């Protein structure tokens, strides 16, 4: 996509264009200056305004007018009402790099909660796309090239190729970003497309609520009357039979009428435990691609892009240091950058190589110190769906041995335990521990699936 505008920018610009003709010029300039669309969720569109005066005026005087124009521009029934919220001008516009990028995220994330009282979770329509997750800000490297190419193809012809499109990979590698970028590109091209984005967890919760309130018809309508359905983190379907059944029918209804379905998962669909075969087999009908961990050059490019977003710049050696310090997870990489920038601002110092090295050094152990052995154990137990007793027990089946060795690996590498200490903790000989840790380390060097797996477990551990 060759544009810096987000879908919301375009929508708001068009809306203002129409309102401008209806409203006197002084009024228009006074009340609509520095306004923007913050997001839309459950059919409530949130407009950001610069101060409380503008908020009061717009809400009391211009609400019906604004709503009428927006209703005309948005796909059928995607909008029920509008709300206003004070937001610093420019903070959510991707086209104007914001000084503080933490803010816009907070704005888009708190928006739904702030307006939740006006909506009903099972109501129709609604999507909340982050204005930051566009193709423009998406750096392409060898780790995501294929997924990106497929994403572009889908954006240009939704529903015609690669249906469904499944993106899988470890935590913080850009699945949600890419998925939303596709959606925004589709909307930019055709704002009338009915796009619905939902984390899988929300799909599941809304479904349960719909059953409880006897409104399953409304639920069905919501998820089946769309042109593009995006469900994020479908591994969440694991073990949820009723939700799987409902998702199966949603999937079929959409697929049969050539509506685009885009899904993300933290692992290959076939590897999701307790997922019905009829679903996992359908998930591979279209295109399944993975996103791996980015290489050093790509991590550096991502850091440069994030600096650009924040309107700042870092020396090449500092970028290199950061890129080397966070290897497998882009969200952590970004977190590291944020921490460095924030610390330097707070202490009023320049982010030189030496200072950044110190900040990173302070950061690492604290994270590790917070985790204890039983947390590692319960994380592994949760991830692999086996009990702690099975992990620690003597059985040599592959499904137990592998998680057991991951446990050894994490205790050695994340908690810095010595081999004898791990041996004592797990009641095993220290040579067994060495063998286990080395086996994982060797395999990690060339097995991207295992890299993803370990990243996911680590992320679970620290979050």
- Residue 436 in the binding site for ligand ADP (CB under 6 A): no
End-to-end CA distance of the chain: 34
| Choices 149-157, 169-177, 197-205, 276-284; region in contact with ligand ADP by CB under 6 A | 169-177
Q: Which does 38 bind (CB under 5 to 8 A by kind): ligand ADP, Mg ion, none?
A: none
Tokens of 459: 């992320």
CB–CB of 122/203 below 8 Å?
Answer: no
Nearer to ligand ADP, 48 or 174 (CB): 174
| Binder of ligand ADP out of 19, 261, 300, 302 (CB under 6 A) | 302
Using the rule CB under 6 A, which residue among 240, 331, 363, 430 binds ligand ADP? Answer: 331
Choose between 78 and 325: whose C-beta lies nearer to ligand ADP: 325
Under DSSP, the state recorded for 407 is H
Contacting residues for 353 by C-beta, under 8 A, at least 6 apart:
315, 317, 318, 321
Beta strands in 251-290 (DSSP E): 260-265, 287-290
Q: Which residues contact 441 (CB under 8 A, 6 or more apart)?
A: 409
- Interface residue with ligand ADP, options 5, 136, 334, 425 (CB under 6 A): 334
Backbone angles phi, psi at 245, to 5 degrees: -60, -45
Query: Rule CB under 6 A: is residue 286 a binding residue for ligand ADP?
Result: no
168 interface partner picked from Mg ion, ligand ADP, none, CB below 5 to 8 A per type: none
Q: Does 172 bind ligand ADP (CB under 6 A)?
A: yes
Count interface residues toward Mg ion (CB under 5 A). 2
Work out how close the CB of 175 gets to Mg ion at its nearest, in angstroms, rounded to a whole number. Answer: 5
Which lies closer to ligand ADP via its Cβ, residue 303 or residue 391?
A: 303
81 Cβ contact list (under 8 Å, min separation 6): 43, 44, 45, 67, 118
Q: Which is nearer to Mg ion, 154 or 291 (CB)?
A: 291
Shortest Cβ 18–ligand ADP spacing (Å): 32
Geometric angle at alpha carbon 230, from 283 and 216, rounded to 5°: 90
Query: Using CA atoms, how far apart are residues 206 and 68, in angstroms rounded to an integer?
Result: 28
173 is in the binding site of which of ligand ADP, Mg ion, none (Cβ under 5 to 8 A by kind)?
ligand ADP
| Per-residue CA distances from 66 to 28, 82, 123 (Å) | 12, 8, 22
Residue of 91, 110, 111 whose CA lies nearest to 101: 91
* Per-residue contact flags (x/-) with Mg ion for residues 160 to 189, judged by CB under 5 A: ---------------xx-------------
Strands 36-41 and 44-49 turn out to be antiparallel
Cβ-based nearer residue to Mg ion, 133 or 400: 133
Rg, Å, the chain Cα set:
24
Q: Out of 305, 312, 343, 378, which residue is the one contacting ligand ADP (CB under 6 A)?
A: 305
Q: Out of 174, 269, 351, 423, point to the residue binding ligand ADP (CB under 6 A).
A: 174
Q: Which helix (H) or strand (E) holds 9?
A: helix 7-22
User: Which residue minimizes CB distance to ligand ADP?
Assistant: 174
By beta-carbon proximity to ligand ADP, the closer residue of 224 and 331 is 331
| CB nearer to Mg ion: pick between 176 and 328 | 176
The DSSP H or E segment spanning 175 is: helix 175-189
**Which residues contribute to the site for Mg ion (CB under 5 A)?**
175-176
**Which residues contribute to the site for ligand ADP (CB under 6 A)?**
137-139, 144, 171-177, 302, 305, 330-331, 334
């Amino acid at each position: 996509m060759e544009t810096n505008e987000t879908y919301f920018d375009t929508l708001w610009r068009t809306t203002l264009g129409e309102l401008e003709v209806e409203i006197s010029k002084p009024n228009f300039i006074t009340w609509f200056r520095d306004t923007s669309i913050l997001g839309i969720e459950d059919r409530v569109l949130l407009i950001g305004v610069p101060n409380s005066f503008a908020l009061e005026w717009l809400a009391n005087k211009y609400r019906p007018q604004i709503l009428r124009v927006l209703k005309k521009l948005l796909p059928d029934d995607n909008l029920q009402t509008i709300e206003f919220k004070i937001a610093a001008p420019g903070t959510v516009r991707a086209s104007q790099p914001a000084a503080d990028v933490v803010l816009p995220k907070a704005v888009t994330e708190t928006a739904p909660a702030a307006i939740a009282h006006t909506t009903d979770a099972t109501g129709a329509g609604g999507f909340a796309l982050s204005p930051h997750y566009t193709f423009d800000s998406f750096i392409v490297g060898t780790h995501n090239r294929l997924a990106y190419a497929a994403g572009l193809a889908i954006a240009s012809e939704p529903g015609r190729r690669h249906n469904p499109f499944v993106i899988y990979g470890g935590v913080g590698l850009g699945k949600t970003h890419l998925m939303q970028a596709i959606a925004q590109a589709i909307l930019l091209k055709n704002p009338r497309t009915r796009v619905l984005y939902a984390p899988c967890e929300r799909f599941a919760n809304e479904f349960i609520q719909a059953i409880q309130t006897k409104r399953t018809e409304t639920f069905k309508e919501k998820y089946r009357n769309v042109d593009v359905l995006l469900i994020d983190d479908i591994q969440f379907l694991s073990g949820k039979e009723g939700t799987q059944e409902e998702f199966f029918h949603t999937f079929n209804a959409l697929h049969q009428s050539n509506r685009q379905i885009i899904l993300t998962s933290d692992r290959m669909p076939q590897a999701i435990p307790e997922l019905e075969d009829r679903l996992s087999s359908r998930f591979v009908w279209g295109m399944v691609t993975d996103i791996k961990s980015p290489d050093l050059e790509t991590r550096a490019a991502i850091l440069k892009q994030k600096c650009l977003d924040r309107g700042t710049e870092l020396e090449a050696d500092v970028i290199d240091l950061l890129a080397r310090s966070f290897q497998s997870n882009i969200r952590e990489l970004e977190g590291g950058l944020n921490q460095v920038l924030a610390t330097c601002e707070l202490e009023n110092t320049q982010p030189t190589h030496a200072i950044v090295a110190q900040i990173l050094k302070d950061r690492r152990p604290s994270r590790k110190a917070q985790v204890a052995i039983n947390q590692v154990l319960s994380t592994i137990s949760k991830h692999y769906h086996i009990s702690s007793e099975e992990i620690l027990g003597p059985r040599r089946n592959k499904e137990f041995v592998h998680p057991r060795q991951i446990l050894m690996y994490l205790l050695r590498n994340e908690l810095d335990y010595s081999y004898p200490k791990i041996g004592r903790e797990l009641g095993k000989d220290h040579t067994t521990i060495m063998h286990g840790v080395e086996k994982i380390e060797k395999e990690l060097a060339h097995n991207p699936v295992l890299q993803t797996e370990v990243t996911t477990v680590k992320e679970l551990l620290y979050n």
